[in-house]
Amino acid sequence: MKPLLEQQIESKKKLQQMYVGAFFMDAGTGKTRPCVELVNEIKPDYVLYFAPYQCINTTNEKESTLFEINKWGGFNCSFDLIGIESIQNSDKTYLELHAKLSKAKKAVLIVDESLKIKNSDAKRTRRILTLATLVKYRYILNGTPLSRNLLDLWAQMEFLSPSILKMNETQFKNNFCEYKITTIRKGSKSRTKEWIVKYHNLDYLYKLIEPYIFRSNLMLDVNLQNIEVNFNLSEEEMNEHTRVIDQVLSDEWLMAKPNFFLSLTQRLQNNYSLNAEKIVLLKAVLKREPKTLVVAKYIATQNKLKALFPDARILSWQKHAHGLNLQKYNEMVLFEQHWDYGLLDQIQKRIYRTGQKEDCIVRRFKGNCGLESLMWDNVNKKKDLLQEFKKMTLQEFKKEAI
């Protein structure tokens, strides 16, 4: 077995002093191995390991979480590897795992890709926090502690131990976030929305969590090159793009609907997702380099690309951004843009990761409409587009998006 990398040694050394800990290590830095070794040194009688379903049930066994765990010796005790989504969808699974943890004398609970428990209101998060109360040893693994905003940290730290922050989520938000609240009324109905505009006391927050986290950055001897590939919307697509913006944004009440912004951007992007010029550009890339991964956002787009390019490997932004080890590839096309910087960072690290021997190229397709530029600029600046959108008036967004 290869010697541990320097950051793997450092992570074990720091976290073995604690009953709980976070391996916040960039994708590709090898966080699974030190976690497995650290857990085996504890000598537990049961390990419950949560990971995203798509990382467990992969088409290629060598890309799975189980393969990665077994590569480093596996766990020396009874062990369950569970898709984190099942804890929300199956009462039976939840009750069975609750019974196993209650019965175990020295159990360990691990959550891989811990941003899956960032939403404190979700049934999944509530159930995992309940299971955590049954276990002394708890660990989380993730490439980054944040994807949406600072509130992502609260549930993760609460899982490790309530004594780390010693505050509920509302207290956490009041201590570290400045937020704006707006109430929108229509007739007898009203809806209140809030969004974060600024952070405070971050030095104090870091002081609270620092003893329990190990943070490392990815350092490789190969380069990652991002290439902008431009395409033009057809006249019909541009007219539809403008029509949808004018139609949907004509009523301010729509602004208060849950997930309004995401549904709007998806509707706009769907209009030109299979743009003819994009297809021609992709065909040229695949002809030049057949072993190029293609990442698409929409299921219909993915299916069409699979039909057009049956030899190409088509990935989903949502399903394949985490966990997969695809360093046998070194080129990638992002067929559609995504407004989430965290997903962009993670999807690129499917190829730009430890074990990669060649320079990597990521081609990002960009259309000639305002929405594409808005998404591109916000992601490059590592901003949250949803938060930026909430600061705009309807007229400002219309102007930017067209």
Q: What is the pLDDT of residues 91-124, one digit of tens each?
A: 999 999 999 999 999 999 999 987 788 777 789 9
pLDDT value for 382 = 67
Percentage with pLDDT > 70 across the chain = 86
Give residue 115's Cα distance to chain centre: 7
- Cα angle 89, 90, 95 (rounded to 5 degrees) comes to 140
Tokens of 172: 């956490």
Length of the chain: 402
What DSSP letter does each residue of 41-98 carry, written as one string?
HH--SEEEEEE-HHHHS-SSGGGSHHHHHHHTT--SSEEEEEETTHHHH-HHHHHHHH
Q: Is the separation of the CB atoms in 57 and 82 below 8 Å?
A: no
Looking only at the bridges linking them, the beta strands covering 224-231 and 360-367 are parallel
What single string gives the DSSP state of each residue in 268-315? HHHHHTT-HHHHHHHHHHHHH-SSEEEEESSHHHHHHHHHH-TTSEEE
Query: φ, ψ for residue 358 (rounded to 5)?
Result: -120, 155
- The CATH class for the domain spanning 224-401 reads alpha beta
In contact, 231 and 373? CB cutoff 8 Å:
no
Closest CA to 141 of 215, 40, 71: 215
Which amino acid belongs to residue 177?
C
Distance CA 361, CA 376 (A): 17
- Locus of tokens 């951007």: 265
Question: CA 379: distance to chain centroid?
Answer: 14
The residue behind tokens 């490392």 is 216
Here the tokens at position 115 are 């941003």
Strand order in the sheet with 46-51: 78-83, 46-51, 107-112, 137-142, 20-25, 213-216
Q: Return the DSSP state at 113.
A: S
* pLDDT over 90 (residue 378): no
Q: How far apart are CA 302 and CA 298, in angstroms?
A: 6
Most confident of 28-37, 200-209, 253-262, 308-317: 308-317
Taking residues 375-394, what's their average pLDDT?
66
What are the pLDDT digits (tens) for 163-190?
Answer: 999 999 999 999 988 877 776 666 677 7
Write down the pLDDT at residue 218: 63
Q: How far is CA 309 from CA 11, 325, 338, in A?
A: 42, 22, 22
What are 33's two structure tokens?
A: 């191995």
The whole-number pLDDT of residue 305 equals 96
Question: Model confidence over 210-223: pLDDT tens digits?
Answer: 999 998 766 666 78
Question: How many whole angstroms separate alpha carbon 310 and alpha carbon 292?
Answer: 13
Residues 83, 348: Cα–Cα separation, whole Å: 23
Question: How confident is the model over 37-59, as a mean pLDDT?
Answer: 92
All structural domains of the chain with their residue ranges? 6-216, 224-401
* Residue pair 336/273 in contact by the 8 Å Cβ criterion: yes
Residue 200's pLDDT is what? 82
pLDDT value of position 370 = 86
Residue 327, SS3 per DSSP: coil
pLDDT at 349 over 90: no
Q: Between the ranges 243-257, 306-320, 382-396, where is the mean pLDDT highest?
A: 306-320
With 0-12 / 13-18 / 19 or more C-beta atoms within 10 angstroms meaning exposed / middle / buried, residue 117 is: buried
Q: Which of 286, 381, 376, 307 is nearest to 336 (CA)?
A: 376
Task: Specify the higher pLDDT residue, 182 or 393.
Answer: 182
Q: How far is CA 98 from the centre of its chain?
A: 27
Q: Do domains 6-216 and 224-401 have the same CATH topology?
A: yes
Q: What is the pLDDT of residue 219?
A: 61
CATH class for the region spanning 6-216: alpha beta
C-beta separation of 363 from 332 below 8 A: yes
Between 26-30, 51-55, 80-84, 265-269, the lowest mean confidence (pLDDT) is in 26-30
Average pLDDT, the chain: 85
Angle between helices 260-272 and 235-248 (to 10 degrees): 160
User: Could you identify the residue written with the tokens 């390019």?
Assistant: 309
By the 8 A CB rule, do 385 and 262 touch?
A: no
